[in-house]
Amino acid sequence: MEDRKRIIKGYLECDGSIVRISSLEDIMNFVSKYGKAISEMSEKDLDELTKRNSNSKEYITDDCNIIYMENPLILQVGTCIENYKIKDGTIAIADEAFKLSDWSRNASLKIRNILIPDSVVAIGQSSFVNKQNLIGINFPKALMRIGDQAFAGCHLVDSILFPDSLKYIGGHAFQFTHIKRLSLPTTVKKIGSFAFADCSELESIEFKGVPEIIGSEILSNCSALKEIIIPQGTTDYFEKELFPISKELFIEK
């Protein structure tokens, strides 16, 4: 019984970094060593954060009628709004948060700018899919995961800057956007299939590190692509992982 009383589930934030807490010992380690003994959140942990929780009784609605779950603070359901600043302390944006298929077409196109606080570590799948007027995206410095189709079809998105915390990019995450240049930090471990496919204006992509997993056709139909910058000595790896991309596009740096 004594051990059961010590079990705690939740998250702690410090300087924009989020760590998972499961015991009093974790809390003590966090306070004394800032998480030295706390395990890094896994892809599964991050995926669980963005799942819709319809059974929760701890919901709040802000004055823009956007719904959050408390403890931890997760944006659950968005609404028709042109410019929105997500609440400070939010750690995740739920799957399909701003998809809202019941909106009229005109309403669904209205979103233009979203300000995401640095506390957010995960953006759920299809959370901003097909928001064709979305132009302003800032990625928080603690962000670790971008879900499948999160920004697919956001045609006006032409510039993004990934934080050094990013580890997982979902399949189709930025498909059909107008990104022109990309730089992927060394922290990226996994890129899902078709992540940047059909980005017709993409001219340059730089891999600062070597992802452990690269899905199929992440750059398919990127007709303007002129260069793929990769680390020294990795051409063979990327030639295989990015098949059938022409070897002539690779530049070791």
CATH number of 43-153: 3.80.10.10
For 154-209, the pLDDT digits (tens) are 999 999 999 999 999 999 999 999 999 999 999 999 999 999 999 999 999 999 99
Domain segments of the chain as ranges = 1-39, 43-153, 158-253
Sign of CA dihedral 231, 236, 239, 242: negative
Predicted TM-score (pTM) above 0.85: no
What distance in Å separates the CA atoms of residue 29 and residue 127, rounded to the nearest whole number?
34
CATH class of 158-253: alpha beta
Q: Fold match between 43-153 and 158-253? A: yes
With 0-12 / 13-18 / 19 or more C-beta atoms within 10 angstroms meaning exposed / middle / buried, residue 209 is: middle
For 58-97, the pLDDT digits (tens) are 789 999 999 999 888 999 998 888 899 999 999 999 999 9
Q: Is the pLDDT of residue 24 over 90?
A: no
Q: Is the pLDDT of residue 5 over 50?
A: no
